[in-house]
Amino acid sequence: MWLRPAYPCVVALLVSACSASDGAVVPPADVSVPEAAADAAGPPVPSSCEDEPLALHATEAEGHLTRLFLETTHEGRRVALLFDTGSATTFLERPRGTPDPARRVADLAIGTCSVLVDGRPYPTDETIAGLDVVGTLGADILLGGAVSELDLGAKTIVRRVATPLSSEILAWPTARLDVVRGHLLVHVTVDGAPLRLMLDTGAPHILWAGRAANAGDEKVRTTDAAGNALALYLGTADLALADGLSSRVPILRAPTFPYFEETVRVLGGDIHGLLGLSALGRRRIVVDRDAGVLRIGP
């Protein structure tokens, strides 16, 4: 089965006993501020850094990528940042109860450059590949320029792709893309239903919120961030990621998910769940913000 006992948190969104990044949608830090401020970009990054590819590392289970992370240094030691686009911004973990966000609390080495980032109270107490996790590499890493690329086969991020794009990339299938308050929302079709899903590299699989279980789905019990009991159902679904790109993929169905539903409300509605790693496979994904599409390569 896709969910293994050795990886009990893969379906938990903000479960108190698990990582806040295990399939987590980290809530917007600025829900009370005007929309224009909420859409503001993250900390400025020198252009020389944007041209530098970032090398990621990965953990895998049953043929799927389960976690992506960036090795870096903090306070003189080697540590990890989880690559989790369920968070709109890159941040350093802070103790629970501290301000959310605490503005510009630390410099983090991202590639060869140092970037000033916020702190947020989502400690994971997690270790991955022998490295302590100290923060999250968020969706802003893909939105610093008009075009960026995530190569899941090579496990690299290119933050600023040269434009105009090559004829090869322009010929790739596309999925419609919306960017809302720093989150990437992708239009796909699941089991024949058109859905708008949040691109979430912190989630192992697609999660479909507000969807009843299918016959044969496996029930998984967990708890949300507010301590509410939650039942998810693990099965498979037919995914049309773009024209000509269809596959059978793992999926988690959630008949009700109050915490995620509140996040959707904050983001303006019309978000049906999460687009996780197994749906993307080992493909090259070009984020073309100006064209409003994801370009999906081999």
Q: Tell me, what CATH number does 112's domain have? A: 2.40.70.10
Is 70 inside a domain boundary? yes
- Residues 6 or more apart from 34 whose CB is under 8 A from it? none
Q: Band of the pLDDT at 281, cuts 50, 70, 90?
A: very high
Q: Do 267 and 200 contact (CB within 8 A), yes or no? A: no
Map tokens 């969910």 to a residue. 3
pLDDT at 76: 92
Is 25 inside a domain boundary? no
Q: Do 251 and 206 contact (CB within 8 A), yes or no? A: yes
Map tokens 């794009």 to a residue. 165
Question: Measured between alpha carbons, how far is 254 from 140 in angstroms, rounded to an integer?
Answer: 27
Domain that holds residue 59: 35-296
Is 20 inside a domain boundary? no
Burial of 173 (0-12, 13-18, 19+ CB in 10 A): middle
14-32 pLDDT per residue, tens: 332 233 334 445 444 433 2
Tokens of residue 262, six digits: 């509140």
Is 9 inside a domain boundary? no
pLDDT at 112: 84
Give the phi and the psi of residue 97 in degrees, each rounded to 5: 95, -10
Peptide bond into 101 cis (omega under 30): yes
Please state, rounded to an integer, the average pLDDT across all residues of the chain: 85
Question: Measured between alpha carbons, how far is 107 from 125 in angstroms, rounded to an integer?
Answer: 20
The three-class DSSP label of residue 142 is helix
pLDDT at 145: 85
**Number of C-beta neighbours around residue 264 at 10 A:** 20
The pTM for the full model equals: 0.86
Is 111 inside a domain boundary? yes
Q: How many domains does the chain have?
A: 1
Give the C-alpha distances (Å, rounded to integers) separating 159 from 110, 112, 219.
Answer: 12, 14, 39
Q: What percent of the chain has pLDDT over 90?
A: 69
pLDDT at 123: 86
Is 108 inside a domain boundary? yes
Is 13 inside a domain boundary? no
Is 55 a residue whose pLDDT tops 90? yes
Q: Do 65 and 58 contact (CB within 8 A), yes or no? A: yes
Question: Measured between alpha carbons, how far is 41 from 24 in angstroms, rounded to an integer?
Answer: 21
